[in-house]
Chain A
């Protein structure tokens, strides 16, 4: 029983992290109808910025203040990066075919990965040990062991999700985002500055991805420049599972994928757990392409 609860906790934590990344994918898809391939690398950079802030900038480890500072720094850098990428690489291609932008996104992703891997310009290809940002202790609830890190991950993830919900539903800019995702033309006609909202969406999504990167690294403290690919793909599957473009769907999808992956890794099939996520993707697209909470769009002939 405790085994089960332990796995459940792990699954929820992993799911929360996937949810944060998935939200970025789904928000960008919602306003631009485009899958940002480079999102997973922003996630990776989030982890690296936090690492850098401790190793090179001297932020303290094992401290709440230091941990929060690293987190905020990561989120800010990632937000800025997201906006810059959008302005330089995606905005000029707004009118072009989906394929062109997709390939550009792939190019950006490869660029970030390769710069990060470069020994001169980046961090070098070897994995680095991620420091303990927050005070770490093991807490015991009966037979259940929970580390303070895990609690922090849970707390931060939930807070960010809550914050996002508040932004999307209770602020003007959030309403503008939603309007844009329904109908871009109408949105611009009622005075919404589409470009600015799109930048904001990218910034917000990237900040969440950055946070996700830090939280992920806290749980799996070995980071490397290619660490973003698999979690990114799985988070993408989560977004599609929930219904691409649908925010609660992305959160739900993230949770589900996290749980499935955690439980599968406890079984004999664990080496296939990466393939399971893709299997789920293919299954959804075959049987319920709109996702769990999404709506199917009918093409007008």
Chain B
């Protein structure tokens, strides 16, 4: 069996993740939290990139898939696991990944449920429908008392560690890469470029689109599970449209379809708010003498800056930071 470069990178990444995880006990917890958050973002952005960037289906409901995964795996670890009486190590290293896979599968089912009806819709309409689905998922979760309803789910054990987050991120990136770099995978791009022509060349466009949703949703679900076991609690409000938009911005900034760019953007956009928060808690010496100027307006303005950045980016450089040709041109 040929062992191509990509697989070597994957293996190296997994080993690195394992090593890092082993020594993580001595690391600053805040730092760990941030790095793990970055891992989760990379998984989310990569999975959305498959749907939006590579297959050209503009989906605004990714947070919904994340929510399905988060709640699934959290319910498994908080409700099912205690009844098994396993040793904690087994729980973190065997049960937890199993719960993540379950999370991914259930999220994939949700993805298929969303993808299937959305097939004939284009652009704006598809965006709105996926948004609607995302909101429906959120509303349903908010009304399910079994999972805590609007108050949320607490007491989720902290099973996420560097190995799982970083490892999953590496795996996701590899999967998307492996998928796209094959003849079959090029089909996704063809469908995004021109559906009519793709169908004329014998490609089952329906199947491609559904597959993209399914795989994308799977990884979003896994990311949700990792997120749940990182934060320790879940609230349906945290999986709203705003969250979906955060992920969409990563994909756009990275240049829809440019995988390296998207990964980079995910890292950047996860670190940025932390950086701004850091900056906001400091102060700048006043050049005119007198009291230091506080920078905590930056914290308040974070979302404002964020949305301004989005607008400016679209006006100036909609291809994102890394080039990929803009596909659909509007009629003049």
Contact = CB atoms under 8 A, between A and B. Distances in A.
Direct contact of A and B (CB under 8 A): yes
Interface in A75-121: 89, 92-104, 106-108, 110-111, 114-115, 117-121
A98 B123 contact: yes
B6 interface: no
Given A118-B300, A120-B300, A275-B135, A97 B314 contact: no
B100 interface: no
A272 interface: yes
A107 B132 contact: no
B304 A115 contact: yes
Interface residues of B, number: 45
Max count, chain B CB within 10 A of own CB: residue among A114, A272, A301 = A114
Contact of A102 (B123, B129, B143, B300): B123
Contacts of A4: none
A162 to B, nearest CB: 29
- A interface secondary structure, majority: helix
Interface string B233-254: 0000000011001001000100
B95 interface: no
Nearest to B127: A102
A19 interface: no
Given A93-B315, A229-B241, A285 B125 contact: yes
Nearest to A278: B132
Nearest to B297: A120
Nearest to B326: A97
Contacts of A134: none
A104 B314 CA distance: 6
A274 B124 CA distance: 21
A251 interface: no
A106 B310 contact: yes
Contact of A272 (B121, B143, B256): B143
A272 B143 CA distance: 8
Contact of B139 (A34, A96, A118, A272): A272
B51 to A, nearest CB: 13
Contact of A282 (B129, B256, B314): B129
Given A99-B58, A119-B300, A282-B117, A274 B135 contact: yes
B124 A98 contact: yes
A285 B121 contact: yes
A236 interface: yes
Nearest to A100: B318
Interface string A25-50: 00000000111000000000000000
Given A100-B318, A103-B310, A114-B303, A278 B136 contact: yes
Given A99-B123, A102-B58, A107 B310 contact: yes
Contacts of B328: 97-99
Nearest to B126: A285
A229 B245 CA distance: 14
Given A104-B314, A110-B306, A114-B303, A282 B133 contact: yes
Contacts of B121: 285, 289
**Interface range on chain A: under 10, 10 to 19, 20 to 34, or 35 or more?**
35 or more
A233 interface: yes
B140 interface: yes
B128 interface: yes
A180 B245 CA distance: 32
A286 interface: yes
Nearest to A35: B124
Contact of B135 (A98, A102, A233, A286): A233
A35 to B, nearest CB: 5
Contacts of B326: 96-97, 100
B46 to A, nearest CB: 19
A103 B139 contact: no
Interface string A209-243: 00000000000000000000100010011001000
B282 to A, nearest CB: 19
A185 interface: yes
Contacts of A92: 315
B332 interface: yes
Contacts of A155: none
B52 to A, nearest CB: 9
A117 B242 CA distance: 15
Nearest to A121: B304
A186 to B, nearest CB: 13
B301 interface: yes
A236 B129 CA distance: 11
B248 A107 contact: no
B83 interface: no
A159 to B, nearest CB: 30
Contacts of A237: 132
In the A-B complex, list the 4 residue pairs whose CB atoms are closest, starting with the nearest.
Answer: A107-B310, A278-B132, A110-B307, A111-B307
11 contacts: A96-B329, A97-B327, A100-B326, A101-B330, A103-B318, A104-B310, A104-B314, A111-B304, A285-B117, A285-B125, A289-B121
Interface of A: 33-35, 89, 92-104, 106-108, 110-111, 114-115, 117-121, 185, 229, 233, 236-237, 240, 271-272, 274-275, 278-279, 281-282, 285-286, 289, 299, 301
Interface of B: 58, 117, 120-121, 123-125, 127-129, 131-133, 135-136, 139-140, 142-143, 196, 241-242, 245, 248, 252, 256, 297, 300-301, 303-304, 306-308, 310-311, 314-315, 318, 326-330, 332
Given A35-B127, A93-B314, 6 more contacts: A94-B330, A96-B318, A236-B128, A281-B129, A289-B120, A289-B125
